[in-house]
Amino acid sequence: MTKYQSFYTNRSTVEIAQDLLGKVLSYQSDQGLLSGYIVEAEAYLGESDSAAHAYNGRRSTFNEALYGEPGTIYIYQLRQQYMFDVVTQASDVPQGVLIRAIEPKDGQQIMLKNRPVEGVNLTNGPGKLMQALGIQSKVFNMQPLENSKLTVELVTDRQPANITASGRIGVNLNGETGLQPYRFYVAHNPYVSRMRKKDMDLNNFGWKNNS
């Protein structure tokens, strides 16, 4: 078992989604290293989750990555935007976490070239962060995180001061599990999607230790 697989073993997807906050999403691109602290993530609980791509056992070439080993990359396209998920459970248990937003760490100038916008709008959404990273294809889909240029570093010095849970964004709220609080984010971090200006912590960005 690899270190990436062991990170997900014997833990619920809900737990994993929260633990990913503060971890570094990094991409070794042809332009240079691009990375950011994960500040928002959504859990999707597979066959029993009405908002999940594998609800009721749906399986196709579109979502096949979800049925892979823990730590597998699942990239899909929605409304012409690419999204990045991490598979979280054992093979054939199609659960995962959508990375919704990051706070830039390395390569911000390159990100701005890839997505020329100002302020937090650079990476405060799942499609936005993929644009900022310059990933506009499914080239990394089904790759294991530990062998990919796109990965999640499992050790970081950033710890959320508080984690907030809410309903997920953009799902069918009338579905059986549509209202479940499976979206987790670093409270008051300005890069969280839909964070209101009056709620932003512009000093510590919601971290215990903003070093």
Spatial distance between the Cα atoms of 140 and 115, rounded to a whole number of angstroms: 20
pLDDT category, 5, cuts 50, 70, 90? confident
CATH number at residue 103: 3.10.300.10
Q: Find tokens 């989750």 and name the residue.
A: 49
Residue 101 lies in a domain: yes
Half-sphere exposure of 56 (CA within 13 A, CB side): 4
Residue 134 lies in a domain: yes
Mean local confidence (pLDDT), 119-144 = 98
Residue 211 lies in a domain: no
Residue 82 lies in a domain: yes
Residues 16-28: tens digit of each pLDDT: 999 999 999 999 9
Spatial distance between the Cα atoms of 206 and 200, rounded to a whole number of angstroms: 8
Q: How many domains does one find in the chain?
A: 1
Spatial distance between the Cα atoms of 28 and 165, rounded to a whole number of angstroms: 31
pLDDT category, 89, cuts 50, 70, 90? very high
| pLDDT reading at 43 higher than 80 | yes
Residue 168 lies in a domain: yes
Domain hosting 93: range is: 3-199
pLDDT category, 210, cuts 50, 70, 90? low
Residues 91-112: tens digit of each pLDDT: 999 999 999 999 999 999 999 9
